[in-house]
Structure 1
Amino acid sequence: MKKRSFGFSLLLAAFVMLSACSTGTETNNGTAENVGDNQAADGKVTIGLSISTQNNPFFVTLKEGAEKAAAEAGAELIVVDAQDDTAKQISGIEDLIQKKVDVILINPTDGDAVVTAVEAANDANIPVITVDRAANGGTVVSHIASDNVKGGQMAGDYILEALGGKGNIVELQGTAGTSAARDRGEGFHKAVDGKDGVKVVASQPADFDRAKGLSVMENILQSNGDIQAVFAHNDEMALGALQAIEAAGKTDIIVVGFDATADAVTAVNAGTLAATVAQKPEAIGQKAIETAVKVAGGETVETAIPVELELVTKP
């Protein structure tokens, strides 16, 4: 009886030891899975970037700035291109949510339409940061952009000075529903509205697109030949407008753009584009990544992070 009791005790001790080892393994797995809400076990931050389009040099530069900053920070960056399609952007953000990224950066195609995607990220406990353009709803941790109202006003003030306070002006608007178009237009009108001798004779959308800037400007010139200046909400439309103006032989018309893309700066230096407002897209992309890394690490960040503007004119 004593021998059987001793054997039973050994078996019981072995069982307890095995159970302890098994319990320890489960605890380690649980800890690994719970490093942050979504963050990988190795501590590497994964950031999703939903960008409105890669057909615009401004956003290409913004993406490149983000990629460079992500590499320097040791973070993984997943970029999805909406191709200026709201439905495609929402689908892309849903994919990022499914991938359980730590933070999502959104450059909206439409500030209203993107709200459902922002709310979906909120429901998944993934922080959202908007870049260059704002979302009109949902919870956003931070918005990183230039002061587009101030930039539009800078452009308007420059045009007023260049015209000597007198003349007819055309405004080429960006894509309806974007905060950039709304804010740049607001700033421009703050500068020029109510000024004696100055009149905005046409204000039409060209969707931030060079080809549309060309066609819209052609139509405006056909209906109204008495134009002294053009303000375009971005450089792509400004460069399209320049093509129409040059084809019409009206090279005395002042054209001002916005973004300071490489093509626009070249045109400014050549004297064909009067000025452009430099928004520094690379810096916007860089700040977006730096902010995302901080948010993923649990740090508190500013709700609005501005990027400096400057007016670029011929030296």
Structure 2
Amino acid sequence: MTFTRRTLLAGAALAVSVVIPAAFPAAASAADLIAIITPSHDNPFFKAEAVGAQKKAEELGYETIVLVHDDDPNKQSELFDTAIARGAKAIILDNAGADATVAPVKRAKEAGIPSFLIDREIKESGIAISQIVSNNYQGAQLGAEEFVRLMGEEGKYAELLGREADTNAGIRSAGYHDIVDQYPDMEMVAQQSANWSQTEAYEKMETILQANPDIKGVISGNDTMAMGAWAALEAAGRSDVIVVGFDGSNDVRDSILKGGIKATVLQPAYRQAELAVEQADQYLKTGSTGQDEKQLMDCILITGDNAGDLETFAMN
């Protein structure tokens, strides 16, 4: 499969309100409806996706319903049924599992509704029209290179992993280790999943720190876990520990600017969502997106030098 890489474009995020199906205006034409389904908006990354998709869809003249699956495959399946029942013209999706998502996307396709995926891939090709994802491997390598540099190429470190069912978690970890493992004086003393959760990362970091009081660094699969780890380190009086995240959130940006977390990797959530809607619009009008199904967007390393230009998962 040939992957298409695109240049990250900045997008300014606006506030979004979650619209449940019961609240959707009855007068809206089903022919104009795009369903946007993401994980919880408690995570600013997923909120940015919903904002970007909704704003672009409405700019293009579509009605929208914005739904949240909370990383629950059963709930996601129900939301697909909602979109199908409402006669949506297209579905924009950040999915709830690479395997569990195949069946609902197939179901939508059989109902004549094309799906356009963002952020997370699924395990089967040919059923979604587009799968637009960050180049997680390239981004992880960027983050790992900076982590190694900050660590002075030596020292004990821990890795916080994302959710096992999420393909991105494994890709990012592989990208990290393909760089870090080249340095024999870098010693990983703990590797634990915190399931993309700030609360779990805080708890895991407390445990890791107790077992490894001489730890020097933490590399995290996303910014939410990086924030949890940093909070635990600060509470333990260990603000000397080097933390690097992945996502490009405003929270981590602010921490970087204050001298806390040292770096992150921006993945273009807002632009991915806009692009998915643009491709949905083109597909609905012409029968083709003009692109390969799987498309990669390169990531950007964020440090103290450029963090001030970052706003809501986009560079100004």
Please point out which of 248, 251, 258 is paired with 2:239: 251
Q: Among the aligned pairs, what percent are the same residue?
A: 33
Q: How does 1:23-62 map onto structure 2 within 5 Å? A: 45-62=32-49
Any idea what SS the aligned residue of 1:64 has? helix
In the TM superposition, 1:222-241 aligns within 5 A as 222-241=210-229
Q: CA deviation at 1:92?
A: 0.6
Would you say 1:135 and 2:128 are equivalent positions? no
Paired residues for 1:80-159 under 5 Å: 80-137=67-124, 139-159=127-147
**Structure having the larger proportion of residues in helix:** 1
Counterpart of 2:123, as a letter, is N
Q: In 2, Cα distance between the equivalents of 1:230 and 1:294?
A: 43
Post-superposition CA distance 1:56-115 (Å, at most 9, x none): 011111111111111211112222100222211111111111222111122112111111
How far off its partner does 1:265 sit? 0.5
Following the alignment from structure 1 to structure 2, what is the Cα–Cα distance between the partners of residues 109 and 217? 26
Q: More displaced, 136-145 or 282-291?
A: 136-145
Deviations 1:177-213 (A, max 9, x none): 1122121111111111242111222111111111111
Structure 2: which amino acid aligns with 1:310?
I
TM-score by length of 1: 0.83
The count of corresponding residues between Structure 1 and Structure 2 is 275
TM-score (norm 2): 0.83
Higher RCO (Cα < 8 Å, 6 or more apart): 2
Partner residue of 1:307 out of 269, 294, 297? 297
Gap regions ≥5 residues in structure 1 = 1-40
2: CA distance, partners of 1:111 / 1:53: 17
The answer to whether the 8 Å contact 2:30/2:87 transfers is: no
Q: Quick check: which has more Rg, 1 or 2? A: 1
1:216 aligns with 2:204: yes
Equivalent residue letter for 1:222: Q
* 1:224 maps to amino acid: N
Is 1:200 matched up with 2:193? no
The root-mean-square deviation of aligned C-alpha atoms, in Å, is: 1.7
- Give the secondary structure class of the aligned counterpart of 2:240: coil
C-alpha distance in 1 between matches for 2:84 and 2:31: 17
Determine the C-alpha separation between the residues in 2 that align with 1:185 and 1:90: 28
Runs of 4 or more consecutive aligned structure 1 residues displaced over 6 Å after TM superposition: none
Alignment-derived partner of residue 164 in structure 2: 176
1:73 equivalent in alignment to 2:60: yes
- C-alpha distance in 2 between matches for 1:42 and 1:238: 43
CA distance in 2, matches of 1:95, 1:128: 14
What secondary structure, in the 3-state scheme, does the structure 2 residue paired with 1:285 have? helix
